Structure 1
Amino acid sequence: MSETVLQGANPPEPAEEKTSILASISKFRELGLLGFIILLSIVVQMRNPSFLTVENINDMITNTAILSILALGMALVIITRGIDLSIGATLALSGMIVAQTVSVYQGLNPLLAILLGTVIGIACGLVIGFLVSKIGILPIIATLAMMNIFRGLTFTVSDGKWISSYQMPESFVSIATSKILGINTLIVIAIVIYSIAFYFIDHTRTGRQIYAVGSNPDSAKVSGINQTKILMLVYTIMGGLAGLSGVLWVSKFASAQGDTASGYELTVIAACILGGVSIAGGSGKLSGVILGALLLGILNNALPLLNVSPFWQTAIQGLIILVAVIINVLVKRGVDRNNLLRRKI
């Protein structure tokens, strides 16, 4: 009889071991992503020696700065089990209004232009936050509707016209080309924003509540967390970062158009998913978001250097995103099973 009991107890061990492995992977996901980025960089460098030059690395990181800023805001939204499909339109609206303003007031201080764009984005974020948290509209529906509204407003205020570099003052265009302590201003802005975000997430009560709301909304509500405030906050932050990015985008490309950043929200979401942010909410690290944005930046830079067809570039990026999603799902299942086993023990 004892042998029967022992035989019955043996089969679960492989499942437990598999679960333990997946749980361990979740703890070192960022290291794995960093390893993949290093390996990919080595492979690309072997095929094209110009990839890891100082000039190309600087261009690559500069081009990734705006993506990383947007991915930070999107990560906070996704962690609360939300989504924001309006950030491309918010970016375009902010960029267009600021571009029109600096074209009329040529002497406007660049810092005021940045502030104006950020305020416009915050206003857009507040509207979405109100619809999601107060009215109770699903985030995907609310942001899809506002995406079309913001995009329509962009075409309306611009009357369908572009604003080109010759209409903008040099002081505004130089925001994206200037340097602070030898580092491109866009990179410096991204570093400052992430530094503030790391402190906010790790050392403030509100930062921890964001994860609590996404992890288990019912428990968060019972524990006294004001979910309305948290949702308003994350969508407002997302809007502000999108507004700021609109100013940086127009400065970088020296052009403001009605269709600016159309579809760019999907790239931002992809960076978050690659970085390990769970689309189910409640989990995700800012370090992973940075790496996810960097990986997309490397792919955008490396694939053309390898003479990969533009059509295949999109397919390759999609494949990598799909693999990342599958890994995230498997790891999450492993973590959930591991937690369940611990509770039973």
Structure 2
Amino acid sequence: MTTTETRPPSAAQPEAKRNSPLSAVLRARELPVALALVILVTVTAIANPLFLSPQGVKDLLLNATIIVILAVGQAIVIITRNVDLSVGSILGLVAFMTGSLFANVEGIPIPVVFLAGLALGAVLGAINGLLVTLAKVPALVITLGTLYIYRGVNNAWAGGTQYFAGDRPDAFGALSVDTFLGFPVITLLALVVVVVVGVFLAGARSGRDLYAIGSDPEAARVFGLPVGRRVFLAFVTNGLLAGLAGVLYASRFNSVGATTGSGMELDVVAAAVVGGVAIFGGSGSVFGAAIGAILLTTITSALTALRVDKFWQQAIVGVLILAAIIIDRIASVRTARKLRISEARDV
């Protein structure tokens, strides 16, 4: 006679509950950010009904588009336990190059300008990646240096020159004016970027490798992962997306010059961190980074609509960054503690 050992319902039930889709959603790092965004929009719309007018929604989406693309690239780098502070300077260089091409090369096709911007951004990102992976110097130090180098190159190239909306083709400027199904064209392009990169990180082996590298670089090397190559490609991808953002910036705004993109790197890092991308690497998603970017730009728009002083706008963003880092740290400590308890029980 044989007996079949069955798992006690009391043990099986909690495990099933933990693995349920609802439980997974509730544990998602992006959920608090999304809820904060919904609450912010609702409260602001009640105080100022024009905030959610068709034009108001369009402005919100357009304001977030550039930061969303930059935050996606930054998230890829931060997941590998690095950071890129030069993205604002890369955007500025590409944006000025875009204006220069339209102003000085008669009849240049718009797709060629996009390809040139992507190529320049990828090259600048590759420089960062090579310096980080070959010199073995922290990315914070390397990209702080290239931030000033790229900005200096832009200053030397641009000087006092500025390119305005009249220097570009109408079709190029229409990218940030025209809509499709009610959404600005460049916002839909940003959405495509978020989805493609998100699917890559979740489904491709090389994308999952980035999380392993960020969690423990030394362990990743022991397991045979090409750490240097993966980190290099993360910086190249980040530079490429910064190049795309630079081209779209030239379409979105009326002028580009030597100071274009100055200070944007801090907003981009803030968007990624607030969106649940752990500053210590190894966790987070580009979807969360995108939501974080929308949240930060919406905060600025909401406080402006409510006539709140600009100082308080910056202070609130700073509080959000600190809160995101503290919450992430607490969550990491709790996870490590549960793991130790579970291992002790198994023993």
CA RMSD of aligned residues (A): 1.7
1:145 and 2:156 correspond: no
Q: How far is 1:184 from its partner?
A: 1.2
27-36 or 148-157, which moves further after superposition? 27-36
- Matched with 2:308 is 308
For 1:341 and 1:97, the matched residues in 2 are separated by: 56
Name 2:18's counterpart in structure 1. none
In structure 2, the residue matched to 1:340 is: 340
Inter-partner Cα distance in structure 2 for 1:24 and 1:167: 50
Q: Distance in 2 between matches of 1:221 and 1:133?
A: 13
The whole-number CA distance in structure 2 between the counterparts of 1:131 and 1:196 is 27
Give the TM-score of the pair, scaled to structure 1.
0.89
**1:206 equivalent in structure 2:** 206
> Hey, what's the Cα distance between the residues in 1 that align with 2:40 and 2:181?
30
- Deviation for aligned residue 1:53: 2.0
Deviations 1:247-269 (A, max 9, x none): 11111102111111111100001
Q: Which amino acid aligns with 2:116?
A: L
Tell me, in whole angstroms, the C-alpha distance in 2 between the residues paired with 1:191 and 1:201: 15
Q: CA deviation at 1:26?
A: 8.2
Give CA-to-partner distance per residue, 1:41-63, whole Å, 9 cap, x none.
22112211111223211210121
Structure 2 residue aligned with 1:232:
232
What is the CA distance between 1:25 and its match in structure 2? 10
The offset of 1:200, in angstroms, is: 0.7
**Aligned position for 1:264:** 264
1:151-202 deviations in whole A, cap 9, x for unaligned? 1111122233211222222232223223345531111111111121122111
Cα drift, residue 138 of structure 1: 1.4
Say which SS state the counterpart of residue 317 (structure 2) adopts: helix
Number of residue pairs the alignment of both structures matches: 323
Q: How many Å separate the matches in 1 of 2:140 and 2:33?
A: 28
Using the alignment, how far apart are the partners of 1:164 and 1:222 within structure 2?
A: 53
Residue type of the alignment partner of 1:81: R
* Contact 1:25–1:331 (8 Å) recurs in 2: no
Given that 2:61 and 2:184 are in contact with CA atoms closer than 8 Å, whether structure 1 keeps it comes out as no
Q: Is the 8 A contact 1:73 1:241 kept in 2?
A: yes
Report the equivalent of 1:178: 178
Query: 296-305 vs 102-111, which deviates more?
Result: 102-111
SS of 1:144's partner is helix
- Distance across 2 between alignment mates of 1:190 and 1:211: 23
| 1:166 maps to amino acid | G
Letter in structure 2 aligned against 1:274: V
Map of 1:79 onto structure 2: 79
Q: Provide the secondary structure at the position in 2 that maps to 1:51.
A: helix
CA distance in 1, matches of 2:211, 2:105: 43
Residue 30 of structure 2 aligns to a residue in which SS?
helix
1:273 touches 1:321 (CA, 8 Å); kept in 2?
Answer: yes
Structure 2 residues not aligned, in runs of 5+: 1-22
Q: Deviations over 1:283-340 (max 9, x none)?
A: 1122211221111121011001001011222112212222222222212211221222
**SS of the residue 1:280 aligns to:** coil
2:52 match: secondary structure: coil
Match of 1:243 in 2: 243
> Structure 1 regions of 5+ residues with no counterpart?
1-22
Is 1:68 matched with 2:47?
no
Call closer, same or farther: CA 1:235–1:123 in 2, change over 3 Å: same
Q: Which residue of 1 aligns with 2:97?
A: 97
Distance 1:25 1:193, change over 3 A: closer
Q: Distance in 1 between matches of 2:171 and 2:53?
A: 29
> What does residue 221 of structure 2 align with?
221
Q: Partner amino acid for 2:45? A: Q
- 1:275 and 2:278 aligned: no
- Contact 1:61–1:297 (8 Å) recurs in 2: no
Measured after TM superposition, the shift of residue 239 of structure 1 is 0.4
Q: Name the structure 1 match of 2:155.
A: 155
Structure 1 consecutive aligned stretches of length 4 or more whose deviation exceeds 4 Å: 23-26
Give the fraction of aligned pairs with identical amino acids, expressed as a percent. 34
Task: Please give the alpha-carbon distance, in whole angstroms, between the structure 2 residues aligned to 1:123 and 1:61.
Answer: 29
**What residue number does 1:7 align with?**
none
Q: CA shift at 1:114, angstroms?
A: 1.1
- Can you list the C-alpha shifts for 1:229-262, whole angstroms capped at 9, x where unaligned? 1011000001001111111111110211111111
1:159 to 1:28, Cα distance in 2 relative to 1, 3 A: closer
Please, what TM-score do these two structures have when normalized by structure 2? Answer: 0.89
Name the SS for the 1:251 alignment partner.
helix
